[in-house]
Amino acid sequence: MNWSGAPGGMKKTMNELAVEGRTLYAFIERNFHLVRRYLSWEIVFLFYNAINAMTIGYIGVNTPVQHRNETVLYLLIGALLWGYLSLLFDEVANSISWERWEGTIEYTFMAPIRRLTHLLGMCLYAVTYGIVRTVIVLVALALFFHISLSTANLWTGVVVLVVSSVSFMGLGLIAATLPLLSTERGVQATHIIQGVILLISGIYYPISVLPHWVQWASYLSPATYALEMARAALLHGATVAQLAAPLLKLLLIGALMIPLGLFVFVQAERFAMRTGRLKRNG
Residue among 89, 91, 217, 73 at smallest CA distance from 157: 73
> For position 8, what pLDDT does the model report?
62
> For position 1, what pLDDT does the model report?
44
The Cα 172–Cα 276 span in angstroms is 23
Higher-confidence residue of 276 and 24: namely 24
> For position 19, what pLDDT does the model report?
76
Q: Is residue 51 over pLDDT 90?
A: yes
Domain residue limits, the chain: 10-274
> For position 47, what pLDDT does the model report?
92
CB-hemisphere CA count at 13 Å for 196? 14
Cα(first)–Cα(last) distance of the chain, in Å? Answer: 62
Lowest mean pLDDT among 4-18, 176-190, 230-244, 248-262: 4-18
Are the C-beta atoms of residues 227 and 77 closer than 8 Å to each other? yes
The pLDDT tens digits for 180-197 are 777 667 777 888 888 899
The Cα 221–Cα 68 span in angstroms is 28
Given pLDDT bands bounded at 50, 70 and 90, which one contains residue 4? very low
pLDDT above 90 as % of the chain: 18
Are the C-beta atoms of residues 226 and 249 closer than 8 Å to each other? no
Summarize the confidence of residues 254-270 as an average pLDDT.
Answer: 87
Burial tier of 75 (Cβ tally within 10 Å: 0-12, 13-18, 19+): buried
> For position 226, what pLDDT does the model report?
92
The pLDDT tens digits for 54-69 are 999 888 888 876 677 7
> For position 12, what pLDDT does the model report?
67
Q: Tell me the whole-structure pTM to 2 decimals.
A: 0.81
